Chains A and B, each alone.
Chain A
Amino acid sequence: MASLKDIKRKVGAVQKTKQITRAMNMVAASKFKAAQSRMENFRPYAGKFMDVLNSLALRVDTMSHPLLAVRDPKKIRVICMTSDRGLCGGFNTNLIKSTERFMRDKIKEGKDVALINVGRKGRDFFRKKANVITQRIDVFGKFDMTLAVSIADDVINPFIDEEYDELYLIYNQFVNVAVQRPTVVRLFPLPSIGQNVDVESENRQDYEYEPSDEVLLQKLLPMYVHVLVFRALLETSAGENGARMASMDNATRNCEELISSLTLKMNKARQAAITAELMDIVGGTEALSKG
């Protein structure tokens, strides 16, 4: 049986761990709140943007734009969007696993697959395992639309120049605090837009377009990519902090359990020591009185 002192030290250590995990839980909670409100603030922009894009797509032959060009997909690029920091449960592991599976399947089909990493965790994992073209790490601490723009800029021109044929974005879709679902979205060629919007088409306003609707669409499509990437960034950041909140909450609870079981052990050890001492004293006095 471990000595009283050892157990005492252990309790102290677990207590400190608990303080840390609790603090991390609270930090994650406040970051999560911020990330969630950013997601909400983004909604009007995204909604309005889609309205305009869809109504424009109905009027223009959308197939003509290079970002929508469907080619025989020989070369594929994948954006893997993980968080920068760990200690958030299975958040990154699950995502990396699905990315790996996705890439393996594509390679099996005989495609040429290259990877773009966003977030440190994915970079660390894939550094030696995959053909990584670009990476952006340490971005989630503070990011805004310009990050989405620069990620999109990296991929738009090579696609137009036919350096590759398909682009997929793999990220953790934010379902709720406890659930983040790895999701694969095809970015290029952009999925056809403006197909499920007939419901409102009756009361849609007819605009003058300036410049012409085709030119306008060409300007809007890259922005559409920005919107998709930015949404993924926001969901990743909310999901990361949500996952960290949950896992730190678990860790804190585990610490409490450990502490209570260790305290019990400690009390037992102390009692045993006292009993042993008493026995000694009693044995001693008895020996004395007999003598």
Chain B
Amino acid sequence: MSDELILEIVTPEKMAFTGSVEEVTIPGTEGEFGVLRGHEAFLTSVDIGELNFTKDGKKTYYAINTGFAEVTAEKVTVLIETAERSDGIDKDRAQRAKEKAESSLAQMAKENSEYERINLALIRAVTRIRVAEK
């Protein structure tokens, strides 16, 4: 029991996950990082990407949106705007979103104010596809 870490994934819609895990990997804005029990307390922002944790030796993957993570020695709280578990992702939809974003990016100047937003949509779609394939 002593090496267990409480993980909470909180989104505006629901508690996406809460329970004890062995290890969790979080896509921080300063790079991906792993947390084990006893980690130094810190707070960081989280980027669009793939979050995974190991529970009973099994890995679970989530595609997540921006937010932040609060890490203490016994507990990790991840607050993100969306979280989708790998088996709940609609891969076709993500694929379509990806193609749509790619085609509109292709005709768009980088200076366009929309560029950044569509680019983010593209990153989200790609992440979702990647996570769905795990």
Contact with B along A15-46 (1 / 0, CB 8 A): 00000000000000000000000100110111
Tell me whether A41 and B79 are in contact (CB under 8 A).
no
Q: A207-B43, A208-B41, A211-B44 are in contact. List 9 more A-B contacts (CB 8 A).
A: A41-B12, A41-B13, A44-B10, A48-B70, A144-B82, A145-B81, A210-B30, A211-B45, A216-B45
- The yes or no answer to B15 lying at the interface (CB within 8 A) is yes
Nearest-Cβ distance from residue B75 to partner chain A, whole angstroms: 10
Interface residues on B, range: 20 to 34
B42 contact from A41, A46, A145, A210, Cβ within 8 A: A210
Give the distance to chain B from A90, nearest Cβ to Cβ, in Å: 29
The answer to whether A205 touches B72 (Cβ under 8 A) is: yes
B-side contacts of A149, CB under 8 Å: 81
B14 at the interface (CB under 8 A from A): yes
**Which of A48, A144, A219, A230 contacts B10, CB < 8 Å?**
A48
A206 in the interface (beta carbon within 8 A): yes
Across the interface, B81 reaches (CB within 8 A) one of A38, A56, A216, A226, namely A226
In the complex, which residues 1-31 of chain B have their Cβ closer than 8 Å to any Cβ of chain A?
10-15, 28-30
B interface residue numbers (CB < 8 A to A): 10-15, 28-30, 40-45, 65-68, 70, 72, 77, 79, 81-82, 113, 117
Q: Are A207 and B15 in contact (CB under 8 A)?
A: no
Q: Is the CB of B43 within 8 A of A216?
A: yes
Given that A45-B79, A48-B10, A223-B81 are known contacts, is A211 also in contact with B40, CB under 8 Å in the complex?
no
B78's nearest neighbour on chain A, judged by CB, is: A48
